[in-house]
Chains A and B, each alone.
Chain A
Amino acid sequence: MSKRSSVAKSKTVVFVMGLWFFAFTLAWGAQATTICDDVGREVEIPFPCERIISLSPSNTEIVFALSLAEKLVGVTTYCNYPEEAREKEKVGTLNEINLEKVVELEPDLVLASSLTPPEVVGRLEGLGITVFVLDPHSIDEVIGDVEKVGIISGAEDKGQELKEAMEQKIEDIKSKVSHLSPEERPTVFHLIWHEPLWTAGKDTFINEFITLAGGQNVVADLSGYITVDLEEFVRRNPDIITVVENPGEGGDLSYQFLLSDGRLRMIKAIQDHKVFPVDGDIVSRSGPRVVEALYMYACIIHPEIFGEYEYQK
């Protein structure tokens, strides 16, 4: 073989490989500019992402947790955490969004929730506004959302950081209760409202909190958020009861009910005075504070491992 032809051959190979490499990068780069949201929509990552609107309290909390507070230009009337969120411009409630307001604020990214009416999402899309729908059903999915929001808002690094922190905390709690046998896991009943008795079965966040924190959901055989018979409640005889309180609105009627209705006197949780009010904003939101919620449950269920639970009104 002549020296000339082997050099030519290697050049061709390099050239072809270069072509391949170039094509591959191009393809990969194209894929990298869209991300899938929680309802299966392929959303293009906006660039730049300077103005964000949140359409639910949990989304707002995510945005703040990612240190993107300055970029947040619109929130809902229910967004009350952290305190700074209250001062942001309001664009509506959970189900009623003022489209004009949203458009006026010229957002680069709108973070919607499962409660946002689909027509609103459609309209915003039609107007060329990037909408990303968040609808997590488990703690893992919440963490996934945090990561995704980080990516789509240009705070990928912070997102990763937060994700790891959350996973770490969860792992921490999990590990401390993993050794417990079923008998060592108290039964827990979560009361959302008392007339009728409204609780959370499996496939709910509450269920996860209870289970991961080393307890057992006393209505784990039922699915979703359901109402149960008072009789059933007495029969199931939970060891611990957590009850939702909505801070600031005097909404502790359910807690009062638990303490005052004499028919509950035979329930173990009542007898042992293990009735714990929990902040509705923390346990009912699918934002970064799920970790805090989990920790609350851990303290409630296993104070001997995690310390006493303290409830601040």
Chain B
Amino acid sequence: MSIKNKKRLIYPGLLILVLGSIFLAQGFGGGRYQISDSLSLFSSSTLSPSERIILFEIRLPRVILSFLVGGSLSLGGAALQGVFQNPLVDPYVLGISSGAALGAVIAILSGVYLGFFTIPLFAFSMALFSAFLVFHLGKVGKKFPLEVLLLAGIGVGFFFSALVSLGMFLAGEDLHQLIFWTMGGFWNSSWREVKMVLPFLIVGLPVLVSFSRELNAFLLGEKVAESLGVEVEKVKKWLLLVVSLLVASAVAVSGVIGFVGLVVPHLVRLLGIRDHRHLLPFSFLLGGGVLLWADTLARTILNPVELPVGIITNLLGVPFFIYLLQKRKKNP
């Protein structure tokens, strides 16, 4: 029962950590930390209009967006790892990242301008389309056998990636724009992007958490889960749908940021949390925090030059995989 007490402390603890992170991250700018910037969150009366813009229209939305995106990706990753009963699954397994990249390519190449949300809109639509394609290809009768889904995801992913490469080749001079997009990052994040991601989270997080018990049952295998009363195919459908929306919205606003969705749920499991009722919200909070700090690092370390945050998260993956290797070597 002491585990339960520990858990009771951890939730508020994490929440405090999150708020604290936002507070601290707000102070990082111009390559250094200034506590006055952090404190400005409480009182901003002494700021000049320029400073106000910088702090509340550029920096704060970026800090919050990085948190929301990191949370969405980790939440999606945790849920997918549960559905597929496979810890190596990441949120892009349904070809979403390639689809989104293709959308961005099309937007940039076509030069169509529908307002500031042109690229996110195209990316989001193509991401959803690729997920839809994967569902369709992965369906056998009325069921969604997992191996088939995975194969379909890989296939669709490769196909769209090939198209992206083609687009990049044809683009020639526009190449650099696409490269930045596929590396993932939070430049130019504003409250608009936050508003694009938030609705999906507000709906997605509770919905996914509500499937916790089913996800727990999935751990025993689909057959046992079904014998326990889980409507396996229905659950799969809903989970995949919600996760697709969540991940597509995240990728649409910030490009393809790797590893967060894969690594964070494992970190949570390392803490001894396997019950999805806690694994999911923890993954969300921890993932948000991780990406928040990764981005803070990305925009501070070489300031004023910005590093794409995807580079930092990819570096995260290395020690993680080393750890996984060690673990498997001990327990083959």
Contacts and interface: CB of A to CB of B under 8 A. Distances in A.
Interface of A: 78, 93-94, 193-198, 219, 222, 226-232, 234-235, 237, 246, 249-253, 256-257, 260-263, 265-266
Interface residues on B, range: 20 to 34
Interface in B241-294: none
A265 B53 contact: yes
Contacts of A260: 115-116
Contact of B304 (A229, A252, A265): A229
B53 A196 contact: no
Interface of B: 29-30, 49-50, 53-54, 57-59, 110-113, 115-116, 118-119, 172-174, 176-177, 180-181, 185, 187-188, 190, 299, 303-306, 308
Nearest to B191: A263
Contacts of B118: 253
Given A263-B190, A265-B53, A195 B305 contact: no
Given A229-B299, A235-B30, A195 B306 contact: no
A196 B188 contact: yes
A261 B172 CA distance: 28
Contact of B111 (A195, A235, A251, A265): A251
19 contacts: A78-B172, A78-B173, A195-B180, A195-B181, A196-B187, A226-B305, A227-B180, A227-B305, A229-B304, A229-B306, A230-B58, A231-B58, A232-B304, A234-B50, A251-B111, A260-B116, A261-B188, A263-B57, A265-B53
A197 B187 contact: yes
Given A231-B59, A256-B113, A265-B53, A194 B172 contact: no
A90 to B, nearest CB: 13
B277 to A, nearest CB: 39
Contacts of A249: 111, 174
Contact of B173 (A195, A219, A246, A266): A246
A251 B112 CA distance: 9
Contact of A237 (B50, B58, B181, B188): B50
Most A C-beta atoms less than 10 A away, residue of B176, B181, B188: B188
A261 B53 contact: no
A198 B305 contact: no
B306 A227 contact: yes
Contacts of A232: 30, 303-304
B204 to A, nearest CB: 26
B50 A222 contact: no
A53 to B, nearest CB: 19
Contacts of B30: 231-232, 235
Nearest to A237: B50
Contact of A231 (B29, B174, B177, B305): B29
Given A196-B188, A235-B54, A253-B113, 11 more contacts: A78-B173, A195-B181, A196-B187, A222-B305, A227-B180, A229-B29, A250-B113, A262-B57, A263-B53, A265-B53, A266-B50
B187 A231 contact: no
